[in-house]
């Protein structure tokens, strides 16, 4: 199964996607300043990252633009203000959330947009809308991926049905998403086997988006690499909702393709990510996230625990066990 | 290979070893107060931990007792002051370091000591002394394990030679030690295959002691569980030298044997480990440890970086790459 198990070679088909602005934006309500975003863009180019996700294309009818930074909506104009004509090998991605995005109106044809890749995010029960969004984006000329969220609490039969439906669309990449940070590498291996089965059948690439509730986001991502998963999400300093994601610095240190360089990542973290932390933005592994991951629960209670500045971990454990 | 890959069962032969006082002591020079140690002992009993390592049996001729807390030396009397006659299922371990322990004099017969297990720690080039220490401890009636340190920078031929020598002794357990936090799970799997080959040949148990430089201490430990490794080191809140160890709270959450309980661990961390952090004791994953792990170097430069309060990570990276 582990085709690159000697760890000394690399696979050209691997793509690294920087999701810092999007998943990290869930931590600070997308209030990144332009200097941060511009420097992140330049760092991604220098470090050989393949795609940079700028945020959500959120529906302004649903979300108050006064309450969120602009990367919650990341208009083409806002992206252009950073990347210009994007004269680089780095491709631009945005996320379009089922039910939270007015995609027919807010996503223009690719020829009029700096965006290359539309990342459709869906729960299992929203697959028909996801399919419509995929078709819409493909018609407009984009590369398209689809994240099926929260699969650690789903029935395998339902996941199979979804993969079969998605396989028949024009989607380019289907993502394994461990929303709750609940999967162990051995489970991830089985999930990857399931997804790659459909990927081979329908000629789709498979991706992985991991969460670090049990300090396994990086471990699960490299497990997936060995299992034939090609698209890898990571964020700088692992910034992301709750316990955060797979750390870019760990991932680029692991990957052997000479185009990937870890030094620019370290420079960016030293200057920008550590400043975010010093200024009070909180993310990353902590006991409350371990607990929700262990119980395979949505991290929302753990996030609330963090936001309230609570330190009574044992009490919290009793609360969420009672809810289980 | 993954005999418990369904993750729903458990293996009776697994033993969990709490190394908080010993490896954590390397962070705070073993200055734990008695209340901490007593509460840790009681927590280990409640949470079903199998062995508690109290510290090093350091040679007082070599190390100044004024400069270290008592768990650098952990005399039988000091241990007895905590555990009394140890009327519990929890067994007591100490570490005896090759070249830093006057074992013939300082380790009494087991019948006169509260200690059950002597953990001999050795580098490859010290194996003959390790063998003498193993024989000495077995003659005195102890269970004995042997940690071969720093194997990620060793030749496989040398490791095989060492395993063959140790296999012929009366040692009970041989430990895989990833001192530099350099191993990926795929490599760990290969190392585990090597150790279990000798373990089966000589009827020895195999153990794993991991470090968290690349956030893989827990992942490597559960990889090892699946590979037939039975003795698992962990520390509360992952406290240990540099980037720390496999976190006890993650490990007990993972293991399915009903004797293991995670709730007492969480209570202890909330009350004691978080206080250590608040009081300024620093350990755990950070960029400088990632870098030494990635380069397969001893973490001493990264530990110095931490102690000096440096934040110039990029400069540090250039320094250690230059040393490589």
What ranges make up the beta strands (E) of B59-217? 91-97, 117-122, 143-148, 173-177, 205-209
Strand residues in chain B grouped as ranges (E): 15-18, 51-56, 91-97, 117-122, 143-148, 173-177, 205-209, 231-234
What are the distances in angstroms from CA A173 to CA A14, A32, A145, A200? 12, 28, 4, 12
Cα gap B20→B25, rounded to integer Å = 7
The answer to whether the beta carbons of residues A46 and A55 sit under 8 Å apart is: no
- pLDDT per residue, tens digit, chain A (324 aa), is 455 555 678 889 999 999 999 999 999 999 999 999 999 999 999 999 999 999 999 999 999 999 999 999 999 999 999 999 999 999 999 999 999 999 999 999 999 999 999 999 999 999 999 999 999 999 999 999 999 999 999 999 999 999 999 999 999 999 999 999 999 999 999 999 999 999 999 999 999 999 999 999 999 999 999 999 999 999 999 999 999 999 999 999 999 999 999 999 999 999 999 999 999 999 999 999 999 999 999 999 999 999 999 999 999 999 999 887
Q: How many domains does chain B have?
A: 2
Q: What CATH number should be reported for the domain holding residue B54?
A: 3.20.20.70
- Average predicted confidence (pLDDT) for chain B: 96
Q: Which residue of B has its CA nearest to A292?
A: B253
- The encoded tokens of residue B223 equal 């990889």
User: For A87, how many CA atoms within 13 A lie in the half-sphere containing its CB?
Assistant: 1
CA distance A191 to A213: 18
Cα gap A160→A147, rounded to integer Å:
14
Q: Is A183 on the interface with B (CB under 8 A)?
A: no
- Residue B291: predicted pLDDT: 97
| CB spacing of B314 vs A267 below 8 angstroms | yes
Nearest to B23, CA basis, from B225, B234, B276, B184:
B234
Q: Which residue of A lies nearest to B227 if distances are taken between CA atoms?
A: A186
Verify that B296 and B255 share a domain, yes or no.
no
**Chain B residue with minimum CA distance to A284:** B285
Q: Is the pLDDT of residue B5 over 60?
A: no
- Looking at the complex, report in whole angstroms how far the Cα of residue A278 sits from the nearest Cα belonging to chain B: 12
Contact state of A253 with B214 under an 8 Å Cβ cutoff = yes
| Rounded Cα gap, residues A229 and A239, in angstroms | 22
User: CA nearest B79: which of B94, B61, B60?
Assistant: B94
> Is any Cβ of chain B less than 8 angstroms from the Cβ of A214?
yes
**CA B302 from chain center: how many Å?**
19
Q: Please state, in angstroms and rounded to a whole number, the distance separating the CA atoms of residues A176 and A207.
A: 6
Q: Is residue B313 part of a domain?
A: yes
What per-residue confidence (pLDDT) applies to A5?
54
Residue range B107-131, pLDDT digits in tens: 999 999 999 999 999 999 999 999 9
Question: Based on the domain organization, do B33 and B143 belong to the same domain?
Answer: yes
The 10s digit of each residue's pLDDT in B163-177 is 999 999 999 999 999
Any CB–CB contact under 8 A between A201 and chain B?
no
Express each pLDDT in A46-99 by its tens digit: 999 999 999 999 999 999 999 999 999 999 999 999 999 999 999 999 999 999
pLDDT at B311: 96
Residues B80-91, mean pLDDT to the nearest whole number? 97
Q: By the 8 A CB rule, do A94 and A56 touch?
A: yes
Whether residue B240 sits in one domain with residue B303 = no
Give strand pairing partners of A121. Answer: A97, A147
CB pairs under 8 A between A and B: 99
* Residue A176, min C-alpha distance to chain B (Å): 19
Residues B113 and B191 in one domain: yes
Residue B167 at interface with chain A, using a CB cutoff of 8 Å: no
CB contacts of A227 in chain B (<8 Å) are: none
Please tell me if residue A129 touches chain B, with a CB cutoff of 8 Å. no
- How far, in Å, CA of B70 to CA of B133, rounded? 22
Q: What is the dihedral of CA A28, A207, A183, A225, to 10 degrees?
A: -120
Which two structure tokens, joined as six digits, stand for B242? 């540099």
| Chain B CB within 8 Å of residue A156 CB | no
Q: How does residue B4 score in pLDDT terms, banded at 50, 70 and 90?
A: low
Predicted local distance difference test score (pLDDT) of residue B2 = 58
Q: Are strands B91-97 and B51-56 parallel, antiparallel or unpaired?
A: parallel
SS3 B163: helix
Nearest by CB to B250, which of A269, A290, A313? A290
A253: nearest CA in chain B? B294
Residue of chain B with shortest Cα separation from A312: B270
Whether residue B318 sits in one domain with residue B212: no
Exposed, middle or buried: residue A178 (CB in 10 Å: 0-12, 13-18, 19+)?
buried
Residue A9: the pLDDT is: 81
Complex ipTM: 0.93
In a domain, B9, yes or no: no
Do B170 and B306 lie in one domain? The reply is no
Residue with tokens 């399919």: A131
A269 → closest Cβ in B249, B262, B287: B287
Is A9 within the bounds of a domain?
no
Q: What is the pLDDT of residues B192-239, one digit of tens each?
A: 999 999 999 999 999 999 999 999 999 999 999 999 999 999 999 999
Domain co-membership, B136 together with B218: yes
Q: In angstroms, what CA-CA distances link A166 with A135, A170, A229, B98?
A: 11, 8, 17, 60
Q: Is B273 exposed, middle or buried (0-12, 13-18, 19+ CB in 10 A)?
A: buried
Predicted structure pTM score: 0.95
Task: Note whether A192 and A311 are same-domain residues.
Answer: no
> For chain A, what percent of residues have pLDDT higher than 90?
96
> What token pair was written down for A7?
């760890």
Whether B7 maps to a domain, the answer reads no
Whether chain B has a CB inside 8 Å of the CB on A249: the answer is: yes
Does residue A72 fall inside a structural domain?
yes
**Beta partners for residue A175, in sequence order:** A147, A207
| Contacts for A214 with CB less than 8 Å, ≥ 6 apart | A181, A182, A184, A290, A293, A294, B218, B250, B253, B254
Query: What is the domain extent for residue B295?
Result: 287-323
The strand pair at A143-148 and A173-177 is best described as parallel
Give the position of tokens 């003795």: B231
The whole-angstrom separation of Cα B51 and Cα B49 is: 6
Nearest in space to A130 (alpha carbons), one of A141, A143, A145? A145
Centre a 10 Å sphere on the Cβ of residue A128 and count the other Cβ atoms it contains: 11
Out of A186, A216, A262, the one facing B5 most closely (by C-beta) is: A186
Residue A10, in any domain of the structure: no
On whether any CB of chain B is under 8 Å from the CB of A310, the answer is no
Report pLDDT digits (tens) over B131-162.
999 999 999 999 999 999 999 999 999 999 99
Tell me the pLDDT tens digit for each residue of A98-134.
999 999 999 999 999 999 999 999 999 999 999 999 9
Q: How far is B308 from chain A (nearest CA, A)?
A: 16
pLDDT at site B1: 41
Residues A106 and A132 in one domain: yes
Under an 8 A CB cutoff, do A7 and B216 touch?
no
Q: At what angle do helices B217-226 and B185-202 cross, to 10 degrees?
A: 40
B163 with B295, same domain: the answer is no
CB of B172 closer than 8 Å to CB of B144: yes
* B312 and B246 co-located in one domain: no
- Candidate from A222, A247, A267 with C-beta closest to B184: A222
Q: Does A191 touch chain B (CB under 8 A)?
A: no
Q: Does some domain include residue B293?
A: yes
Residues B296 and B193 in one domain: no
């Amino acid at each position: 199964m582990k085709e690159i198990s000697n760890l000394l070679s690399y696979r050209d088909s691997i793509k690294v996607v920087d999701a810092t602005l999007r998943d990290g934006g869930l931590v600070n309500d997308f209030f990144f300043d332009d200097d941060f975003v511009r420097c992140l863009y330049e760092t991604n180019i220098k470090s050989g990252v393949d795609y940079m996700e700028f945020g959500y294309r959120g529906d302004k009818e649903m979300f108050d633009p006064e309450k969120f930074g602009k990367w919650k909506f990341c208009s083409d104009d806002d992206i252009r203000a950073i990347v210009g004509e994007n004269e680089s090998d780095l491709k631009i991605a945005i996320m379009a959330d089922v039910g939270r995005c007015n995609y027919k109106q807010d996503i223009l044809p690719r020829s009029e947009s700096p965006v290359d890749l539309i990342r459709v995010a869906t729960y299992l029960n929203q697959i028909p809308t996801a399919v419509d969004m995929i078709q819409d984006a493909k018609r407009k000329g984009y590369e398209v991926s689809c994240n099926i969220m929260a699969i650690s609490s789903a029935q395998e039969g339902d996941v199979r049905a979804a993969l079969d439906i998605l396989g028949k669309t024009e989607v380019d990449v289907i993502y394994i998403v461990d929303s709750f940070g609940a999967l162990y590498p051995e489970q991830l291996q089985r999930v990857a086997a399931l997804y790659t089965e459909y990927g081979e059948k329908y000629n789709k690439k498979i991706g992985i988006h991991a969460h670090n509730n049990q300090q396994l986001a990086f471990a699960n991502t490299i497990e997936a690499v060995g299992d034939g998963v090609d698209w890898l999400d990571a964020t700088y300093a692992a910034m992301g909702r709750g316990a955060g994601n797979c750390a870019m610095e760990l991932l680029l240190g692991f990957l052997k393709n000479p185009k990937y360089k870890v030094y620019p990542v370290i420079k960016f973290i030293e200057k920008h990510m550590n400043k975010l932390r010093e200024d009070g933005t909180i993310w990353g592994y902590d006991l409350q996230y371990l607990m929700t991951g262990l119980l395979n629960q949505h991290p929302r209670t753990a996030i609330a625990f963090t936001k309230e500045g609570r330190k009574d971990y044992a009490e919290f454990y009793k609360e969420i066990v009672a809810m289980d």
